[in-house]
Amino acid sequence: MGKAGTDQNSQEQSSFFSPPGQTSAVLADFPGAAQLQGAWAQASAADLRWIWAAQAAKHGVIILYSPLPRLEGLALHHWCAHLEEVLVPWLSPAQLSHLQCFGSSDAALKARCSRLLARALLIRLVMAATHASIITRGAADAAKSPRQHADMYSHMAWLSLEGLDRDYLGRPVMPGWRAAFSHSGHAAFCAAFRLGHESKNPPCHQNADQLDAETLQDFRPCLAVDAESLLNPPPDPRAYSGRELTAPLAKESCVRDALRRWTIKEALLKSAGLGLSRDPALVNSGFFGQRRGRAQFCHEGSKGFALGPGSARQTIPCRHIGWQLVPCAEHWLCVAAPVSPDRPLLVTGRPLRAHWSGVLNSLG
């Protein structure tokens, strides 16, 4: 099994992490630098990795992933039960119901484990963002430090009250964040970014009771991620158009390129909220070797569809969805999100790899 499918801690460092020895120089620019430097010094190296990830999520999409534990049978069942117990305070009834619908076979438990772990990654990131906010506020006014812990617990209580919810398409809804999950069968993935002013980030989710004609006409693409293990076979050739698999490649390279294109298609369909209800062959995955691009999706009544390059059809509403392939060990990984015509999708740094035991310990 490749690096993404093992439980060994990775030494990967995302490009947004400060190099060793430069933290003091970075902090010197902040008001109350002495207090802030002391607060950072008390944080563990693991906490700092999460805090930097949370800060990077203000500027673009951050990717988190964790290989699944090498457990099976009763051990895997107990592990899932324990992680679910830890996550319950942050999950809405809809999320909890979804996580409890899996069966008891090893394959079903593995799928449930991956879904629990993806949600744990998001919760851990939100906790790190709260931690960073408290440290920064504490640097501005150290006299408030006795209240900082109370503030943190108050925020976490608010978070547990709001909870991680789902929209009517099953996409995650977290106050103040956009988030998406994916599961390769070998690792759990979470893509996330923090919202700024809500007026600049119109909601892309709808509640289940808002499925009226207006909602269906004004569809809202959202952040999406898809991960495919390189060990997985590619889908049926019917998932591709006649122009997509014509490059003169060796058989192994053809398989890898087919899987790459499938990852792009899935991410775009997820972002558009269509899933596999639409023919993936109609979704353009770009040219051979392309690493980023954009697609146009339109909606008519209850039907959604993609427009091919150069299409002259004008249907309202139409949305531009940008996509980007992100390097990740032993995986094809693609992020997709709505973009404006003049603004590309921004993914911040490389994926942050977290060990499942560290995530579990930090939450419980």
- As a whole number, mean pLDDT of residues 103-110 equals 91
Report if residue 106 sits inside a domain: yes
- As a whole number, mean pLDDT of residues 222-251 equals 85
Share of the chain above pLDDT 90, in %: 34
**What gap in Å lies between CA 42 and CA 48, rounded to an integer?**
10
For the cut 70, the answer to whether the pLDDT of residue 180 exceeds it is yes
Report if residue 242 sits inside a domain: yes
For the cut 60, the answer to whether the pLDDT of residue 97 exceeds it is yes
More confident residue, 225 or 341: 225
For the cut 70, the answer to whether the pLDDT of residue 354 exceeds it is yes
Count the domains in the chain. Answer: 1
pLDDT at 82: 93
Report if residue 190 sits inside a domain: yes
**What gap in Å lies between CA 289 and CA 292, rounded to an integer?**
9
pLDDT at 176: 86
Exposure string over 57-85, b if 16+ CB within 10 A, otherwise e? beebbbbbbbbbbebeeeebbebbeebbe
For the cut 60, the answer to whether the pLDDT of residue 286 exceeds it is yes
List all residues 6 or more positions away from 363 whose beta carbon is below 8 Å from its beta carbon. Answer: 86, 87, 120, 123, 124, 127
For the cut 90, the answer to whether the pLDDT of residue 251 exceeds it is no
Most confident by average pLDDT, 28-37, 132-141, 171-180: 171-180
For the cut 60, the answer to whether the pLDDT of residue 23 exceeds it is no
pLDDT at 363: 83
- As a whole number, mean pLDDT of residues 84-103 equals 91
For the cut 90, the answer to whether the pLDDT of residue 41 exceeds it is no
Residue whose entry in the numeric block shows the structure tokens 């547990």: 160
Helices (H) and strands (E) in the chain, counts: 10, 11
- As a whole number, mean pLDDT of residues 251-274 equals 89
Confidence category of residue 110, pLDDT binned at 50, 70, 90: very high
pLDDT at 255: 84
pLDDT at 9: 37
pLDDT at 160: 52
pLDDT at 260: 94
Q: Which domain holds residue 305?
A: 3-199+209-363
- As a whole number, mean pLDDT of residues 49-68 equals 92
pLDDT at 76: 92
Tokens representing 151 are 């503030």
pLDDT at 344: 80
The one-letter amino acid at 87: L
Report if residue 256 sits inside a domain: yes
Of 177-191, 324-338, 350-364, the least confident: 350-364
Report if residue 204 sits inside a domain: no
User: Which phi and psi (to 5°) does residue 27 adopt?
Assistant: -70, -20
pLDDT at 250: 64
For the cut 50, the answer to whether the pLDDT of residue 287 exceeds it is yes
Confidence category of residue 314, pLDDT binned at 50, 70, 90: low
For the cut 60, the answer to whether the pLDDT of residue 211 exceeds it is no
User: Which phi and psi (to 5°) does residue 142 adopt?
Assistant: -65, -25
**What gap in Å lies between CA 325 and CA 16, rounded to an integer?**
18
Residue whose entry in the numeric block shows the structure tokens 């909601």: 203
Confidence category of residue 28, pLDDT binned at 50, 70, 90: very low
Q: Please check whether residue 245 is in contact with residue 254, taking contact to mean a CB–CB distance below 8 angstroms.
A: yes
Strand, helix or coil at 320?
A: strand
What's the mean per-residue pLDDT of the chain?
76
Q: Is the link from the previous residue into 317 a cis peptide, with omega within 30 of 0?
A: yes
For the cut 70, the answer to whether the pLDDT of residue 57 exceeds it is yes
C-alpha dihedral sign at 75, 81, 82, 83: positive
Report if residue 159 sits inside a domain: yes
Report if residue 166 sits inside a domain: yes
Residue 98: exposure state from Cβ atoms within 10 A (0-12, 13-18, ≥19): middle
Nearest one of 289, 50, 80 to 190, comparing CA atoms: 50
